[in-house]
Every structure is written in C-alpha cells, then in structure tokens.
C-alpha cells in the first residue's frame, strides 16, 4: 500500500480500558497509523457507512480490530453483516478477544475474519502480539487502496 | 519441535517450480516447521482439498493456503471464489502471494475473502523476510480453526 498515507485502523471494543490498552499497544508498534474507536458493532457499521452526524468525516478503515463480546450486536453478527455488504467486505477484520472457545474461532473464520488473536493477559505479551499484527498488516501485506 | 508444530500444514498453490522452491527455502530459513504441500493450479488444489484420486487420498487438511493468482486451468481468483463458497473449506485462511501489482487484483482478492495480499519481492532476501513475517503472524500469533474435516 502507499507509504505516504497513515494506515486507518478501526477498533471495535466496548470496554474503555481495553480500548486504551489497544491504542497504546498499536502506537508502541511504531507504524504510522490513525486510530478510531467505536463501542459496538452497530456503531462500527454507522462509522463505516458514515450514517451518523458525528461520522460524516469518518475515514474509511484499512483494517478493523474486533472484540467479540459486546453488548447490543455481538462481534460475530457485525462481522457477518459487514462481509455481506459489497462496499465494506474488502476491509480485513482481525478478531482480538479473550474468548478461547473453538466455536468462536471457527465461526470467526467462517464469517470472513482474517485472523483470530487470543488476548494475552500479560501486558508485555499483548504489546508483542500487537507488534506482530502491525508488522503483517501495516508493512507486509498490500491493503486495498480504494476498495469501493 | 512439538507435534503441534509439525502438524501445521501449508498448501502452496503455485505453477512456477522455481517459486515453489523459494517458498520452501524461505520457510526453512525462517525456522517455520510447517509441512509444505504443493499443487500447481486451482484445479489441482481442489482435487487436493477434496482428496480426489490416489495421490491425494491421504492429503492432510491445510491450516493455511498460499495462493498465486496467475495460473493456467483454474486461476487464483476462481479458486478463491470457489473455496469460500464451500462450508467445509471456507474457514481455511487464504493468503495471496503473487507478482501482480494490479490494484484491481488486490481489491478483488479481499472481496473474495483473502486474508492478506503479499506482493512477491523479486529480491531473495526480501522474499525471505516476507515469509518470515507471514510465519510470525499465521504460525505464532493467530489461532486457527480446529481441523473440522480432517478425518
């Protein structure tokens, strides 16, 4: 992808503390990126479709980092809805969650996740995990420039 | 090396023998202890996944597929579209590994369900590094589905 532009990352996470930790770990990875955070799947869809007044200027994400356990619409419902929307389905979604259930892993990939990361409890391990994730998505792979 | 590490199976779908050798060398160089299975086009990849014929009767289900785009018979995008339609196969992540730099190939691949698009570096050292990053992500970091249809 173009190196001139920051990678746009959308974090979908209902726990404020977990969202802050994610932002910290992403910034520590050292890649040029802009972060946006929303609280649940409904809000994520409004953000990506720019439906809400406050999302009129929302940047189109290059990558979505998705928690699974959220109130309202669950992460899996959001993933399934988004991957059936032709204007959004090209955006890769990586699930990052505390759930270690095999059923969640299998369902995430079936719905189109491009990775499933079980959150390590240790903060240093978490930061290391996010660094590997950024290395793959922000540096190694080519992301769609204009997916619509 | 644990049994689990040895069980990590990569299916490489690549028609160029030289490129297939390079992937094998890069896995070894990066100490990625995967079982690399190689088929030469999309149609053969399908025969592999469906265990058609004596050659593929015992074929292990891959944890990850590395897919070239430009191939004879069934090309990469046709294969990707077909595998993502099959409930028994759609959960296997597919990463595109290609020389194509065409933006419409990138977009089409993600829309069809690719879990990454890597432009093959021409330089060998760069190529090794690319496979290293791929291994760090898919082999060390992420969890993959259990072998649902492995029996």
Domains for chain A: give ranges and CATH numbers: 7-140 (3.40.50.2300)
Its pTM stands at 0.93
State whether B136 and A117 contact (CB < 8 Å). no
Chain A residues within 8 A of B92 when measuring between CB atoms? 109
B64-117 per-position pLDDT tens digit: 999 999 888 888 999 999 999 999 999 999 999 999 888 999 999 999 999 999
State whether B136 and A139 contact (CB < 8 Å). no
In the predicted model, what is the mean pLDDT of chain B?
A: 90
In the predicted model, what is the mean pLDDT of chain A?
A: 92
pLDDT tier at B149 (50, 70, 90 boundaries)?
very low
Distance from the Cα of residue A62 to its chain's centroid: 9
d(CA B89, CA B83): 6
Please give the DSSP secondary-structure letter assigned to residue A29: T
Predicted pLDDT at A2: 45
| Residue range B3-141 in CATH 3.40.50.2300 | yes
Residue of B100, B136, B142 to mutate for A, most A C-beta atoms under 10 A: B142
Domain boundaries defined on chain B: 3-141
Decide if B86 touches A, using CB distance below 8 A.
no
Structural element, H or E, at residue A83: helix A75-83
Please give the DSSP secondary-structure letter assigned to residue A126: H
- Looking at the partner chain, which of A112, A136, A146 has a beta carbon nearest the beta carbon of B113? A112
Q: How many CB atoms lie within 10 A of CB A15?
A: 14
> Is residue B49's pLDDT more than 50?
yes
Please give the DSSP secondary-structure letter assigned to residue A30: -
């Amino acid at each position: 992808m173009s190196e001139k532009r920051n990678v746009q990352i959308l974090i979908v996470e209902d726990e404020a503390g977990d969202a802050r930790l994610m932002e910290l770990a992403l910034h520590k990875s050292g890649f040029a990126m802009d972060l946006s955070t929303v609280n649940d799947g409904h809000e994520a869809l409004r953000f990506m479709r720019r439906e809400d007044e406050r999302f009129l200027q929302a940047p189109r994400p290059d990558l979505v980092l998705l928690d699974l356990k959220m109130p309202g619409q669950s992460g899996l419902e959001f993933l399934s809805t988004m991957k059936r929307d032709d204007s959004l389905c090209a955006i890769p979604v990586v699930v990052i969650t505390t759930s270690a259930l095999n059923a969640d892993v299998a369902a995430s990939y079936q719905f189109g996740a491009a990775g499933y990361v079980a959150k390590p409890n240790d903060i240093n391990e978490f930061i290391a995990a996010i660094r590997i994730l950024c290395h793959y998505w922000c540096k190694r792979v080519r992301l769609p420039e204009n997916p619509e | 090396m644990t049994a689990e590490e040895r069980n990590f199976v990569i299916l490489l779908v690549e028609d160029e023998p030289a490129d297939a050798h390079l992937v094998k060398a890069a896995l070894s160089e990066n100490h990625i202890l995967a079982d690399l299975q190689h088929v030469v086009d999309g149609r053969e990849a399908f025969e592999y996944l469906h265990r058609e014929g004596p050659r593929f009767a015992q074929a292990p289900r891959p944890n990850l597929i590395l897919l070239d785009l430009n191939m004879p018979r069934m090309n990469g995008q046709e294969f990707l579209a077909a595998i993502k339609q099959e409930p028994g196969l759609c959960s296997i992540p597919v990463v595109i590994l290609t020389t194509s730099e065409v933006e419409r190939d990138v977009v089409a691949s993600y829309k069809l369900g690719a879990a990454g698009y890597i432009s093959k570096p021409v330089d060998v050292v760069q190529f090794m590094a690319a496979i290293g990053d791929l291994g760090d992500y898919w082999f060390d970091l992420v969890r993959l589905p259990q072998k649902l249809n492995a029996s």
